Amino acid sequence: MSGGLAIGVDIGGTKVAAGTVDASGRILRRARRDTPERSSSPRVVEDTIVDAVEELLADAEQQGEEIVALGVGAAGFVGADRATVVFAPHLSWRDEPLRDALRARFRRTITVDNDANAAAWAESRFGAARGETHVAMITLGTGIGGALLFDGVLQRGRHGIAGEFGHMQVVPDGIRCECGNRGCWEQYASGNALVREARGLMSARSPVAEDLLERVGGDPSRLAGPLVTEAAREGDPTARELLAEVGHWLGVGLANLAAAFDPGMFVVGGGVSAAGDLLLEPARLAYRRHLPGRGYRPEAQIVAAALGPDAGLIGAADLARAEN
């Protein structure tokens, strides 16, 4: 694994976060852009990535630093070729040759991986999962991403798209998902789920949502997940209840994953994980309640990502450096 500086880019449903990362996983400089609307063309998303990376490359040149690698973590199904985004539920990518498109713009080696794979790699190398041999990473943001890392090796699957846990069905004939199916896990345990439920209460003018309505000036469309977390931390009972419900569904899904993969640790990252134990304690309770063979088998730890929302870009940079 080579040293030197690398740029990592984490492409999510709401933001493109980029950073210059050193060999110890430390972010030296950052650039951030809003993710284009879902209806935007792949070229528009590509331009957004290029704009953020060019800012960091210019900064590095000004500082006399060499960038040895560039890695991208994409919120979507990345094919086995590590070059193509086969499908992205929250973006317009369909069989998008992202690696080659970016390589043509930057004229340098570029690696592409799923954003949750990148986050799992970072947490294993620098964060909460150091020393654990069997790790399952869950990223809670606009949707739910996932990754498996066993004995230091990312488990990408035969076709490269393992870990799309957010699209496991947990409620038959449940809420319609962007992937085309119904009842997917991310419709119940993601940032979108949290905001949808809160806005539903607000739009109905429920008295239990008065505090949340006041925080957005009476306009439910202005509500975002971090505001719900903030209200919960400040004691709002409805915000706490909403987070507990998301946490419950998180725990149900983790129990299913434990049955399939038996990891030693679940690392929960992404923006929603900023709620900490307001989310994770209900998840741990639901996990224990739904775990097959409960009481007769070891339980995996459920911990918050140590690197927070930075895990994806740190991992993307470090994976690129490792493969450089």
23 and 36, same structural domain?
Answer: yes
Structure tokens at 125: 């190398």
Written as one string, the DSSP assignment of 71-131 is EEEESSEE-TTSS-EEE-TTSS-EEE-HHHHHHHHH-S-EEEEEHHHHHHHHHHHHSTTTT
88 and 170, same structural domain?
Answer: no
255 and 192, same structural domain?
Answer: yes
**pLDDT more than 70, % of the chain:** 99
192 and 94, same structural domain?
Answer: no
315 and 220, same structural domain?
Answer: no
Question: Rounded distance, CA 187 to CA 178, Å?
Answer: 9
282 and 192, same structural domain?
Answer: yes
Residue 323's pLDDT is what?
Answer: 85
Residues 6 or more apart whose CB falls under 8 angstroms from that of 50 comprise 102, 105, 106
Mean pLDDT to the nearest integer, 265-272: 93
Domain residues for the domain of 109 are 5-122+310-323
Q: pTM of the prediction?
A: 0.90
207 and 90, same structural domain?
Answer: no
**Torsion sign (Cα): 118, 123, 126, 129:** negative
CATH number, domain with residue 167: 3.30.420.40
97 and 9, same structural domain?
Answer: yes
Residue 300's alpha-carbon distances to 19, 261, 283, in angstroms, are 32, 11, 12
Structure tokens at 250: 């998180």
Residue 2's pLDDT is what?
Answer: 60
Measured CA angle at 46 (ends 60, 312), to 5 deg: 65
Number of structural domains the chain divides into = 2
- Under DSSP, the state recorded for 223 is -
Mean pLDDT to the nearest integer, 106-128: 94
219 and 117, same structural domain?
Answer: no
296 and 232, same structural domain?
Answer: yes
Q: Using DSSP, state whether 305 is helix, strand or coil.
A: coil
**pLDDT more than 90, % of the chain:** 85
pLDDT tens digits, residue range 136-167? 999 998 889 999 999 999 999 999 999 999 99
pLDDT tens digits, residue range 211-266? 999 999 999 999 999 999 999 999 999 999 999 999 999 999 999 999 999 999 99
pLDDT tens digits, residue range 12-64? 877 899 999 999 999 999 999 998 887 778 889 899 999 999 999 999 999 99
79 and 153, same structural domain?
Answer: no
173 and 279, same structural domain?
Answer: yes
